[in-house]
Structure 1
Amino acid sequence: MDQHALDVLNFSEIKKDLRSYITSKLTENLIENLEPSIEIDYIKERQKEVTQAKKILIRENTPPISGVKDIRPSLEKAEKSMIIDGEELLDITTTLEVGHDISSYFSNLEDEDDNYKKLMKIAAKIGNFRPLTKEIRKAIDNQGEVKSSASSKLRRIRRKIQNAKDSIRDKLNSIIHSSSMQKYIQEAVVTIRDGRYVIPVKVEHQGEINGLVHDQSSSGQTVFIEPNSVVKINNKLKQLEAEEEQEIQRILQELTFLVQAETDDIKITLKLLTALDFIIAKARYSLNIDGSEPLLNEEQKTKLFKARHPLLTGDVVPIDVELGDEFDTLVITGPNTGGKTVTLKTIGLLTLMAQAGLHIPALSGSEVGIYHQIYGDIGDEQSIKQNLSTFSSHMNQIIKIIEEADDTALVLLDELGAGTDPTEGAALGMAILDYLHTRNVKTVITTHYSQLKTYAYNNSGVENASVEFDVETLKPTYNLQMGLPGRSNAFQIANRLGLKDEIISSAEDFLDQEDIEIDDIIKEIEEDKKEYQSKKEEATEDYQQAKEMREEYEEKLKKLEERKNRELKEAYREADKIIKRAKDRAENIISDLKEKQRLSDREIQEARSGLREERKDIKSERNQLTAENQQEQEIPDLEEGDQVKIKNVNKNGKVVSLNQDKEEAVVQSGIMKVTVDLKELEKVEKEESSTPKGKVNISRVKQQKAKNISSKLDLRGMRAVDAKDKLLKYLDDVMLSNLNQVEIVHGKGTGVLREVVDETLDNYPSIKNYRLGKPKEGGSGVTIAKLEA
């Protein structure tokens, strides 16, 4: 990738930010070598790794990755059979134990949907070095020192050393505390010089103590003497310490051989741990910048939704921008400090990040093309050393770009043609733009020249865009408007600042008529666009209200149908009970009569015949009841245009059309059209509604909504943008109801919808708290939110 583009687009700053998320210095090498790739499969693999790590950070406990040391020098010593010291062995053990922990962590994760598959595959390759770490821990303490328990010989030697030290101290303490010797002693302490125990004696009395002088104080007032009575024990102590060091070296040598035997496997594990640390660091960075995994293509098509420059802080205005589909060249115009250069850098930097396997700060669903080269000529790059003007410096870079760029490249040019005579600069800018455009090079430029706006209008495959400027506040809004060039607001700004009208009028006379017409056309387009946007929002709101009313109607219709069926079944059951009671009663009467009055068989048959007739009458009544229930109302005789009332929902409307068998009608009720069974309609002479024709009674809608709003919202299968809009609308509706808790179903999936839900709930003012569902509630596929009363 072109180094100049990496520099001007501040890719090194992204790597600097990324360093703050790693836990091991080893990982710094991976960040240092991080470069954009052009291999789409490789990039997709890296992107998916970050996505999976991000899900783990959101859903699970933090992976225990910290504690990995740079043990490569120690491993090299082991390979050469050079003894590794205790601190180095401790670092090796600590690192391998991190491997054990991270391996155990991933093996215990529940991953039925393979959400963590790639990271679990990496962790599964980490070696098991528990026998080695156990041996090292047995011999080395937490300070990197060899334990006495490392061998029985070392334990014995150290015991003898301690006894010798105690014996020396006892003898020396008896000397310095002796009443006869105190006048010679400078200070009643036992100290060490040259590894031997000595006592401090006043220099003028050194001849009174039989022994060896080992040192003298800096003041010359004290000498440090080893009395002859402890020389032999001190000699023994030195011998024991030499034996101790020899045994320590033997133990370290054995441990070194153990490490040496597994050096190759340890190196593999070290690489795996570093790779996991790098992936998890990228995931932490993605969470910090509110990033997402971009879609990738090899056709150099870019579509960014709500994209933000990752190095900007504060309230950053996001942009929607595209390139490479309907047009290959984008011309961005607008005021100074209005965000043109930031837009240019955002496009370039997010592309570099995506191709480097990093998530980008844009909405899910954003798409980035894979470019083989990215070139940039951005900002004031005047070279003082080369004694070049700003124009010359820019031109040198543009010449290089023209010579190298092809149809797989992305070219970003800031203020094309600036730095020289405006007329010549504009002409040169158009020629450069035309050269790149005819060679299908994906190009984005910023400019102030009206001629380049015109070029974009007059050439297919070239599109205008502008950074909006608020003339009322005299400030840029930083909103990027695709398809619309920026207007020159000089006259309006001057007028707002108080410049006399006559001067502004005179200035307008100096303009070409063509420039005036173009500016007027742009102004009209801006006004039309604002009006269109307003009407679009109004239409969207009307559509949403109509959709809600239709759903409300269908829900009520469904409930009425269910109620009708329940009542019908109840009527059947009641009729059956009547028949059974009548039958039982008749049988009992016949039995009693037969028993008491000795009726003849003929009389009994006559009684039973009468019973059968009574049963028929009861069944006939039941059938009549069923028929009445099925045909509750007479079907009205309707024609198109008739005014009707929809009885089930108590709303008025007009018949738009009737189906062929005239069993159903399409009824226009307000802004909503619904298909209704004719039995549910009643003809009326005039519209019985206080609501003006064609308008929706918003108050009634809200009242109905408050009664019928569901406590559950299902977002599964939706795109992030649509899901967020639907969730916000749902929360607004919930606020009209009496619900204090709602259930939002987002599924487990890739975790994108869950992120959208979390972000929306974090920013919604009436949310008291929220949590993931319990296992019986749907687990991590559901979020339960509580609303403030």
Structure 2
Amino acid sequence: MEQHVLEILEYNKIKERLAKHTSSKLARKLVNNLKPVNDFDFIQKRQLEVTSAKKILNREEKYPPLGGMKDVRDALKRASKEITLSGEELVEIANTLSTSRGLKKYLLNLEDEEDEYKSVVKYGVQLDNFKSLERSINNALDNQGNVLDSASTKLRNIRRSITDYSQRIKNELNSILSSKKYQNYIQDSLVTIRDKRYVIPIKSQFQDKVSGIVHDQSASKQTVFIEPMAVVKLNNKLRSFMAEEEEEIYRILTELTYEVREELDRIKETLKVLAWLDFTFAKAEYSFKIEGAEPVLNQEEYISLEKARHPLIPADEVVPIDIKLGGEFDTLVITGPNTGGKTVTLKTVGLLTLMAQSGLHIPALSGSKIAVFDEIYGDIGDEQSIEQNLSTFSSHMTRIIDILEIAKENTLVLLDEIGAGTDPTEGAALAMAILEELYSRDQINTIATTHYSQLKTFAYQQEGIENASVEFDVETLQPTYRLQMGMPGRSNAFEIASRLGLQEEVIEKARAKLSEEDIEVDKIIQNIEESKQSISKDEEAAKAERKKAEALKEEYEAKLAKVEKLEQKIKKEAYAEAEEIIAGAKKKVDKVVTKMKEQAEVNRQEVDRAKSKIDEYRHNLSNERIDLEEDIKQQELQQQGPANLEVGDKVQLKKLNKEGEIIELSDDKEEAVIQTGVMKVNVDISRLERIDDSDQQQKVSNNTNIGSLKGKKSRHISPKLDLRGLRAVEAKEKVDKYLDDAYLAGISKAEVVHGKGTGVLRNVVHELLEDHSQVDEYRLGDKDEGGSGVTIVKF
């Protein structure tokens, strides 16, 4: 769009107000670069994003977590050049990445069954996760960017040494300060620092009395700061440790900068998405501020604004207007008195069009239509050019000539007080010729304001050109600022003069000097106004009658509802009374029957519990026996059993965690009968090992339990989990349980099928895998494994 139009329509003031709703410099830069465009699809998408963002802000309890976002682009640029970043810069990067993670989680966890948030939520999927980098920075730095002692063992040890030596030096200096020998020489009994070395203040006249190095003196020269020889070596050692501390801090910051540099491209992309989301939510907030709505866009040069308000005029002062342009007419001539609101109407149409083409909602009723124009040209207000030594008329004419030279199809032209500043007859003739020229060109829409009465007749006579006017109240001698489509404005000069006290004979002489054509036009307009007022009164009366009818209808419906409610109440009370009588009769019978049933139920439950316990015992015994025999069959041992086994010895089945006692030995002592629990089993001697009582006491039963649990799990858990068709919340619960079960089942590698889709399920899965303690690594599947629709997990 032409810069001149942006200036005269005060477009930059809209951007200034929009910028106040941003949370970061990144978004404010997007606001500063905002300009109207003519790409229809692009504008449509931006409008939908603002609408989605408004719905999120309006419906969700929590505000999107945009705080903490910083403009770290300069720091990233420095990191790319291998310049070590400061602690403050690294903390700002970590905080920004944390904001990204929080915003991603916020957007992906929104409940949006109707897909009304998708225009915004899709950006949440694009936000990357930098949890590892965040952790590295936060573990090494505090909130102010200072390197923590815990950043490295070496740094911790160095700082301990610094603390130790500092204390030793202070003790030595305090000893000097408190000694009687130096009492008369000391200016103040305090230890201070000069040139990073501990010193004490000595009176200038006694500096030769204290052996040491002078580092500084006071402004009055009454005090010198001396480092006594007794602490020189300690100070030297302290300075050495401080130098080591600086080197270690630099090394830690360099390592963290390297980690940032490794993620540079991903961080930059994430910053763009963060800035765009901040920018979008700012546009949504501004839409709330101006009570805006998404306009219905079209490419047919058609404008239809309902209750449109100029966004820069205070809400309690602005008068909404209804205005149309395009379709049956593409040129609109607005007439009316000065300061009546003609220019405001012109600016409202132009500014709202610029806002809509910038992806902003407009302050008008929902359903208002806005055309997407390639260009907007305008000549508005008093643009007299002192530099060019041009009069007001010359300045306007120069601008209009430029517009006529460059205006082409799909253009909106706004002309304020066309033809003004010169002889009225010639000015009106020029105005009509300019409007005819613009009208003759295809796909050019024009709105012009004027106070020339000739243009009113011109608009009536020309097909495709329509009249409109701003209303003026003759009674109060004040404009109402309301726009009247299809009606030219009257000058009202004679009525105003009369009400102000001008003699009637003077007014009559003035009327006599009007041409018959002027008088006829004025009468026609007056008749139209009177007819409109009559119609308006009839409409108001009809509205009043309709309101009365609606009130009567509401009153009747309320009374009817009251009668129906009373009828229901009477029936309900009658039914309740009948039920009460029947209930009283049945109560005694039910009481006896209930007691008998309860006793029978107790007896039945006891029998069922007994049966259940017996069945459970039998089932467990059978399973334990089967598991034990299977374990014994699968155990293959090469070594011989222990020698000199006797009946009564405590033994263990090797590698099976089963213990028992020998109750019988074969003659050749190669087999034994083992009592383990309630079972007896025949076992080859080579499968046994003797256990002492002390060893037996140290056994931990947990191993057996875990082994048993893993064995049972492995028979039921599949190495593949399918999440397709689930919502995010359902998938999250299912994945969380599956990870624990798969680990207990001893599965080393699993497949989680989440499909490709929008990526919401994939992000939910990856977020859980990132935090799960038993997951070693995870990745998207290869082509033969399902590609990006599958995640491979290793435990």
TM over 0.5: yes
Structure 1 counterpart of 2:390: 388
The secondary structure found in structure 1 opposite 2:47 is helix
Q: CA deviation at 1:407?
A: 2.8
The amino acid across from 1:434 in the alignment is E
Structure 2 counterpart of 1:39: 39
The secondary structure found in structure 1 opposite 2:324 is strand
Distance 1:203 1:543, change over 3 A: closer
How many equivalent pairs are there? Answer: 567
Correspondence 1:537 to 2:540: yes
Structure 2 counterpart of 1:305: 306
Q: How does 1:559-574 map to 2 (within 5 A)?
A: none
Question: Any idea what the Cα deviations from partners look like across 1:288-323, whole Å, max 9, x if unmatched?
Answer: 000000000001100000000000013211000000
Counterpart CA distance in 2 for 1:426 and 1:6 is 28
Query: Which of 402, 421, 424 is matched with 2:423 structurally?
Result: 421
Once the two structures are overlaid, the 10-residue window that deviates more, 483-492 or 102-111, is 102-111
Query: Which of 491, 495, 499 is matched with 2:494 structurally?
Result: 491
Counterpart CA distance in 2 for 1:269 and 1:288 is 29
Structure 2 counterpart of 1:578: none
Question: Any idea what the Cα deviations from partners look like across 1:34-87, whole Å, max 9, x if unmatched?
Answer: 111111110010001111111111111211112211111111122222211110
Correspondence 1:59 to 2:59: yes
Distance 1:173 1:549, change over 3 A: closer
Counterpart CA distance in 2 for 1:394 and 1:139 is 66
Structure 2 counterpart of 1:515: 518
Question: Any idea what the Cα deviations from partners look like across 1:406-462, whole Å, max 9, x if unmatched?
Answer: 230000000000011111111101100110011142000000001111110001111
Q: CA deviation at 1:197?
A: 0.7
Query: Which of 495, 500, 504 is matched with 1:501 structurally?
Result: 504
Q: CA deviation at 1:143?
A: 1.1
Structure 1 counterpart of 2:476: 473
Correspondence 1:103 to 2:104: yes
The secondary structure found in structure 1 opposite 2:184 is coil
Correspondence 1:134 to 2:135: yes
Correspondence 1:370 to 2:372: yes
Correspondence 1:180 to 2:181: yes
Query: Which of 317, 330, 333 is matched with 1:331 structurally?
Result: 333
Counterpart CA distance in 2 for 1:182 and 1:501 is 109
The secondary structure found in structure 2 opposite 1:180 is helix
Distance 1:383 1:245, change over 3 A: same
Distance 1:93 1:554, change over 3 A: closer
The amino acid across from 1:513 in the alignment is E
Q: CA deviation at 1:538?
A: 3.1
The amino acid across from 2:505 in the alignment is E
Q: CA deviation at 1:553?
A: 9.2
Structure 2 counterpart of 1:254: 255
Q: CA deviation at 1:32?
A: 1.3
The amino acid across from 1:214 in the alignment is H
Counterpart CA distance in 1 for 2:249 and 2:51 is 49
Q: CA deviation at 1:541?
A: 4.9
TM-score of the two chains, using structure 2 as the length reference:
0.69
Aligned CA-pair RMSD: 2.3
Counterpart CA distance in 2 for 1:205 and 1:563 is 108
Structure 1 counterpart of 2:118: 117
Structure 1 counterpart of 2:48: 48
Q: CA deviation at 1:401?
A: 0.5
Q: CA deviation at 1:390?
A: 0.8
Structure 1 counterpart of 2:70: 69
Q: How does 1:271-310 map to 2 (within 5 A)?
A: 271-310=272-311
Structure 2 counterpart of 1:453: 456
Correspondence 1:149 to 2:153: no
Query: Which of 432, 438, 445 is matched with 1:430 structurally?
Result: 432
Structure 2 counterpart of 1:18: 18
The secondary structure found in structure 2 opposite 1:214 is strand
Counterpart CA distance in 1 for 2:564 and 2:59 is 43
The secondary structure found in structure 1 opposite 2:487 is coil
Q: CA deviation at 1:546?
A: 6.2
Correspondence 1:4 to 2:7: no
The secondary structure found in structure 1 opposite 2:448 is strand
Counterpart CA distance in 2 for 1:327 and 1:252 is 69
Counterpart CA distance in 2 for 1:557 and 1:412 is 58
The secondary structure found in structure 1 opposite 2:285 is helix
The secondary structure found in structure 1 opposite 2:181 is coil
Structure 1 counterpart of 2:681: none
Question: Any idea what the Cα deviations from partners look like across 1:161-197, whole Å, max 9, x if unmatched?
Answer: 0000001111111111212212101111111111111
Structure 1 counterpart of 2:413: 411
The amino acid across from 1:475 in the alignment is Q
The amino acid across from 2:167 in the alignment is D
Distance 1:561 1:190, change over 3 A: closer
Counterpart CA distance in 2 for 1:110 and 1:299 is 38
Query: Which of 502, 525, 529 is matched with 2:528 structurally?
Result: 525
Counterpart CA distance in 1 for 2:513 and 2:18 is 54
Correspondence 1:162 to 2:149: no
The secondary structure found in structure 1 opposite 2:292 is coil
Q: CA deviation at 1:101?
A: 1.2
Structure 2 counterpart of 1:785: none
Distance 1:496 1:218, change over 3 A: same
The amino acid across from 1:148 in the alignment is D
Counterpart CA distance in 1 for 2:188 and 2:82 is 49
The secondary structure found in structure 1 opposite 2:82 is coil
The amino acid across from 1:379 in the alignment is G
The amino acid across from 2:229 in the alignment is N
The secondary structure found in structure 2 opposite 1:68 is coil
Counterpart CA distance in 2 for 1:555 and 1:308 is 39
Structure 2 counterpart of 1:572: none
Question: Any idea what the Cα deviations from partners look like across 1:357-385, whole Å, max 9, x if unmatched?
Answer: 00000000100001100001000011101
Q: CA deviation at 1:537?
A: 3.4
Question: Any idea what the Cα deviations from partners look like across 1:705-730, whole Å, max 9, x if unmatched?
Answer: xxxxxxxxxxxxxxxxxxxxxxxxxx
Q: How does 1:316-715 map to 2 (within 5 A)?
A: 316-440=318-442, 441-542=444-545
The secondary structure found in structure 1 opposite 2:518 is helix
The secondary structure found in structure 1 opposite 2:364 is coil
Percent sequence identity over matched residues? 58
The secondary structure found in structure 2 opposite 1:38 is coil
The secondary structure found in structure 2 opposite 1:167 is helix
Once the two structures are overlaid, the 10-residue window that deviates more, 178-187 or 140-149, is 178-187
The secondary structure found in structure 1 opposite 2:182 is coil
Gaps of 5+ in 2: 568-795
Counterpart CA distance in 1 for 2:41 and 2:301 is 15
Structure 2 counterpart of 1:702: none
The amino acid across from 2:246 in the alignment is E
Once the two structures are overlaid, the 10-residue window that deviates more, 67-76 or 154-163, is 67-76
Structure 1 counterpart of 2:662: none
The amino acid across from 1:104 in the alignment is K
The secondary structure found in structure 1 opposite 2:230 is helix
Q: CA deviation at 1:544?
A: 6.5
Q: CA deviation at 1:539?
A: 3.4
Question: Any idea what the Cα deviations from partners look like across 1:312-344, whole Å, max 9, x if unmatched?
Answer: 013211000000111100000111111000000
Counterpart CA distance in 1 for 2:389 and 2:566 is 90
Q: CA deviation at 1:536?
A: 2.7
Counterpart CA distance in 2 for 1:146 and 1:557 is 77
